[in-house]
Amino acid sequence: MDRRDFIRKIFSRTGIGLGVASAASAGLVGSFQPRKELYEDGRGSAGGAEGPAVPRNCVVIGGGLAGISAAMELASKGMQVTLVESSTSLGGKLTGWEIDALGSRFPVEHGFHGFFDQYYNLNAMFEQAGISKEVFDASPGYPVMFKERPREIYGQTPKVFPFNILSVVSQSRSLDIASFLRQYRGLPPVVDMFRYDYSRTFAELDGIDFMEYCRRGEILPSFIDTVLHPFADATMNRMEVLSAAEAIRYFHFYFMGSPEGLAFRITNRDCMTAIINPLESKLRELGVRVLAGHRVLRLEHDGARISGVRIGGPASGGLVLHVDGASIPDEGWVSMLSREGVPVLVAREGSGYRALDGRCTHMGCPVSPDPSGDGFYCPCHAGRFNASGEPIGGPPPTPLPPLSVTLEGGTLVLRSGETGGDEVLQCEYCVLAADVRGTKDIVKRSGLSSPAFEKSVASLGEADPYAVYRLWLDRPLEGEGYPFYTVSGYTYTDSVSIYSAFQEPFISWAGERGGSVVELHAYAIAPEDMRSDDEIRQAMLRELHSLFPETLKASVLHEVFMVQSNFTRWAPGEHAGRPGPETPFPNLFLAGDWVRVDAPVFLMEAAAFTGRMAANAVFRNEGVRSVPLPIVPMGGIFS
């Protein structure tokens, strides 16, 4: 379709008369405006009963948004639900913890979160839990800071196509329609992104990365640098390794196919206080048994069905691991993976060895010897342990469990000290809603004798590591009233959040001390840019000085720096091999943003959506009425 055909199509479909602006607007709204839909897979049970004839035992594994979503819907319909979470607190990537700093106690999280209006299923879950709208404030707009040119401010855009796109172009110093029309004979390739169609898009574009897609389409570099690159990075996957199909679905969901425009909200309190604690309270009110701090050892099965879930403490269950004794140095602790892939800490002690479970007791992240002291450090959440494994800082609640060590030939055999603490949760249904790493570990340990399914789970991956760097400064930051900035062109920093501009207790602290609290995010660090934590931290500090020159004279009063790796990878060619919500076991269902679905959902909304999908699968088996699943349109406006 060339440009003249495009214009003719708009006029023919909408009855627009040239020069009649009101008729044009009405026609475009009527024919092209995206509308909220209900997801239909042809297998719903809208006419079913309100609850099961006999309440069923359901075990949900994972206390993130996907697990909470599934557990809440199952319990609301009268199921007997147990929710198991390896961390000591629920929330997944929304979880948080408190730290002591500067004579005060502050909440800390994994990073900044924006809650978009098209998070229909997530917002419905918040409403069901009675979460007050007063904990959210509307973001005033989208400022983008560039390395080589002045920042650009994108205000709240119209919801009506094409005025939403024209609004973005008109607010930019580097974009203009004339450039698009001069560059292309026909339609600009970016318009093809309005043609999102699940089957066609993934069949044609899942095999290439998003950067290659932009190069093939000869998309203007200014549009890539200004819009596509900074916003695509928010998938937590770099453009160079992000499936083009997933990227187009992402843009369809967040903007091009969304009836809600670019509107999003931010919490004026930390997410644990504002969201996760109320969600947990609602679960308990519904009768859900919440087992936080319990690790799933494996799924029990009788061949055809999942019969139970074996759980223990963070490192219980008579765990047996194997390590090559020759790899242990003569002095100091070494962090390594056992033959089974479990992180362990091992050191020589006299003529023998000493070992600790290397998984942080907060969320199971790998712990390493602390380069600044004699103990151990968890870089994911700034947890610290002394040389005996006792927690001395950050969120870890309990010591690192000791492991007994015996030498068999040249192999060290490590065993956990707890051998009788296992519990098997009998279940008639199981929802596996852990993150990628947890899901892979559980399936691998379970010996399900289902090669195709096990292969699809094993193929899942995590995106490149990301960094979160929060600083307490002794002087204000000139944020111009914007709490959040997207950043383009820097090696590490992809966004800046000014917590002292939008969230308590940081607002009060900054007001009393005349300072500011700012957080830098590196969404996905390329392998060639990986350095030591200290080098990355110093580089991000230099980038902060470049972005906000007033910080050059500021003193850092306190800081928290974390490098984590727990976001889902959406690499080219992987979509078809992902496991879907249903499995070869008729009573085992999957939930999480990593699950393959044909619905246009992403990130937090994908977690809530698939949690509800899993609950609906249980309801379908029991003849119970399904939960409606609202979504943005399944296809783009030109699909």
Give the percent of the chain with pLDDT over 90.
57
Buried b (16+ CB within 10 A) or exposed e, 219-244: bbebbbbbbbbbbbbbbbbbbebbbb
* pLDDT tens figures, 258-297: 888 777 899 999 999 999 999 999 999 999 999 998 889 9
Residue 176 forms part of a structural domain: yes
Please answer whether residues 529 and 580 qualify as being in contact, where contact means their C-beta atoms are separated by less than 8 angstroms. Answer: no
Residue 111: its pLDDT value, please? 87
pLDDT-wise least confident of 255-259, 319-323, 606-610: 319-323
Average pLDDT of 83-108?
Answer: 91
Q: Do 252 and 335 lie in a common domain?
A: no
Please answer whether residues 412 and 328 qualify as being in contact, where contact means their C-beta atoms are separated by less than 8 angstroms. Answer: yes
Q: Do 144 and 250 lie in a common domain?
A: yes
Bigger pLDDT: 114 vs 416: 114
Residue 530 forms part of a structural domain: no
pLDDT-wise least confident of 48-62, 362-376, 431-445, 569-583: 362-376
Residue 506 forms part of a structural domain: no
Residue from 367, 371, 369 nearest 383 by CA = 367
Residue 389 forms part of a structural domain: yes
Residue 632: its pLDDT value, please? 96
Residue 328: its pLDDT value, please? 83
DSSP conformation class of 594: T
Residue 2: its pLDDT value, please? 45
Give the percent of the chain with pLDDT over 70.
86
Count of Cβ atoms closer than 10 Å to residue 555 Cβ: 10
Q: Compute the distance between CA of residue 264 and CA of residue 140 in angstroms, rounded to an integer.
A: 9
Bigger pLDDT: 420 vs 82: 82
Residues 6+ apart with CB under 8 A from 358: 335, 336, 342, 343, 344, 345, 366, 367, 368, 400
Buried b (16+ CB within 10 A) or exposed e, 41-73: eeebeeebeeebeebbebbbbbbbbbbbbbbbb
The tally of domains found in the chain comes to 3
Residues 6+ apart with CB under 8 A from 227: 168, 175
Q: How far is CA 352 from CA 336, 356, 437, in A?
A: 18, 14, 32
Residues 6+ apart with CB under 8 A from 549: none
Residue 535 forms part of a structural domain: no
* pLDDT tens figures, 313-328: 544 445 677 888 777 8
* pLDDT tens figures, 332-374: 888 887 776 678 888 888 888 889 988 888 877 888 888 777 8
Residue 56: its pLDDT value, please? 96
Q: Do 329 and 252 lie in a common domain?
A: no
Q: Compute the distance between CA of residue 299 and CA of residue 448 in angstroms, rounded to an integer.
A: 8
Q: Compute the distance between CA of residue 339 and CA of residue 327 in angstroms, rounded to an integer.
A: 12
| Average per-residue pLDDT for the chain | 86
Q: Do 339 and 233 lie in a common domain?
A: no
Helix (H) or strand (E) holding 388: none
Q: Compute the distance between CA of residue 243 and CA of residue 228 in angstroms, rounded to an integer.
A: 14
Paired residues of 290 in beta bridges: 83
Residue 188: its pLDDT value, please? 56
Bigger pLDDT: 24 vs 410: 410
In the listed set 256, 273, 303, which residue is the last one of a domain according to the structure? 256
Residue 173 forms part of a structural domain: yes
Residue 317: its pLDDT value, please? 43
Helix (H) or strand (E) holding 475: none
Residue 630 forms part of a structural domain: no
Residue 166: its pLDDT value, please? 60
Q: Do 144 and 252 lie in a common domain?
A: yes
Q: Do 237 and 337 lie in a common domain?
A: no
Residue 20: its pLDDT value, please? 36
* pLDDT tens figures, 154-191: 666 666 666 666 666 656 666 665 655 555 444 555 67
Q: Do 160 and 238 lie in a common domain?
A: yes
First to last CA, the chain: 13
Q: Which three-class secondary structure state does DSSP give residue 215?
A: helix
Residue position matching structure tokens 């809440």: 72
Residue 314: its pLDDT value, please? 47
Buried b (16+ CB within 10 A) or exposed e, 582-592: ebebebbbbbb
Describe the chain by its helix, strand, coil percentages, rounded to 5: 35, 25, 40
Q: Look up the CATH number of the domain holding residue 362.
A: 2.102.10.10
In the listed set 256, 276, 311, which residue is the last one of a domain according to the structure? 256
* pLDDT tens figures, 393-447: 878 888 898 888 888 877 888 887 654 467 999 999 999 999 999 999 999 999 9
With bands split at pLDDT 50, 70 and 90, how would you rate the model's confidence at 471? very high
Q: What are phi and psi of 196, to 5 degrees?
A: -55, 125
Please answer whether residues 53 and 70 qualify as being in contact, where contact means their C-beta atoms are separated by less than 8 angstroms. Answer: no
* pLDDT tens figures, 208-232: 999 999 988 777 777 788 788 888 9
Q: Do 251 and 340 lie in a common domain?
A: no
Residues 6+ apart with CB under 8 A from 561: 382, 467, 468, 469, 470, 533, 536, 537
Tell me which residue range forms the domain holding 19.
1-32
Average pLDDT of 297-325?
Answer: 80
In the listed set 238, 256, 274, which residue is the last one of a domain according to the structure? 256
Q: Do 329 and 401 lie in a common domain?
A: yes
Residue 151 forms part of a structural domain: yes
Q: Is 58's pLDDT higher than 80? A: yes
Q: Do 250 and 326 lie in a common domain?
A: no
Residue 342: its pLDDT value, please? 77
Q: Do 252 and 165 lie in a common domain?
A: yes
